[in-house]
Amino acid sequence: MLEVRQNHCFYLFNWDEPYEEQSRFFSPEFWREQDRILGSAQGRGTTWFLRTADLFGVNAALRHYYRGGFWGKINKDRYTFTSLERTRSFAEFHLLQRLHQAGLPVPKPLAAKVEKLPLGGYRADILTEKIENAQDLTALLQTQTLSDAAWRQIGGLIRRLHDLQICHTDLNAHNILVQQSGAQEKYWLLDFDKCGQKSGDFWKAQNLVRLKRSFWKETARMGIRFTEENWVMLLQGYGVKSLQA
């Protein structure tokens, strides 16, 4: 892993030898010049999908950090700087690295950038693995149901995360990704911005209740195929019979 400082910018690179122009890896225009943009997705901002398998061994997703809600309309991407390790991109990079090394199905972190701003604060970007042949769980559930085994697999994945004492603060149906390869399905967890370690067990049931609410919300909003029986199977995979809402 490389840690690099150039003027007012700080970088983490998940490789041992530097690449030429690696400081430009966080610019969509750089990848456009190389004819390496595969596509994009719109969320709070634009996530760019990049053809980088020949460089990094995997294709990549490039994301700039944007604020949401009311404050995002006033200050779209500037954050308060307290320490480098607590910046959005460096914190998510290190957490993804920990989970990836523990064998959890999360995108491999490739690189992170923090740009300190002249008048205070910082902006941030992250480059992670692009999960191929995948869609978020809500998209899949709009057209098909999942087997009991699939729901148990999802529950088991969340249990593995919780056993590491990691709280996914935005655990919802959109942050579970389904990767399909023939008849095989693999489930991934996404979007670990502002997530981290928590002690104790009190928060774990609350985390699951949040997930259940998101399934019912998308059942009403998007018409996804989700039932109470599906939830029972997820809890079975997690290793409990029921939760207190």
Q: Identify the DSSP state of 79.
A: B
Which H or E run contains 38? Answer: strand 37-42
Mean pLDDT, to the nearest integer, of 141-165?
97
Phi, psi angles (nearest 5°) of residue 47: -100, 125
Mean pLDDT, to the nearest integer, of 203-207?
96
Q: Which of 125, 136, 163, 170 is catalytic?
A: 170
Percent of the chain with pLDDT over 70: 97
> Tens digits of per-residue pLDDT, 78-136?
999 999 999 999 999 999 999 999 999 999 999 999 999 998 899 999 999 999 999 99
Cα–Cα distance for residue pair 245/242, rounded to 1 Å: 9
Percent of the chain with pLDDT over 90: 89
Residue 224: closest CA among 141, 146, 151, 148: 141
Residues pairing with 127 in the sheet: 62, 111
pTM of the model: 0.94
Cα–Cα distance for residue pair 219/214, rounded to 1 Å: 8
Cα–Cα distance for residue pair 227/215, rounded to 1 Å: 9
Which H or E run contains 23? Answer: none
Contact 29, 10 (CB under 8 A): no
More confident residue, 140 or 74: 140
Listed by start position, the domains of the chain span 2-129, 134-238
Contact 196, 165 (CB under 8 A): no
139 pLDDT above the threshold of 60: yes
Going by CATH, does the domain composed of 134-238 fall within 1.50.40.10?
Answer: no
70 pLDDT above the threshold of 70: no
Whether 125 is catalytic is no
Per-residue pLDDT band for 143 (boundaries 50, 70, 90) equals very high
242 pLDDT above the threshold of 90: no
CA-to-CA dists, residue 160 to 10, 119, 157, angstroms: 32, 42, 5
pLDDT of residue 126: 98
pLDDT of residue 43: 77
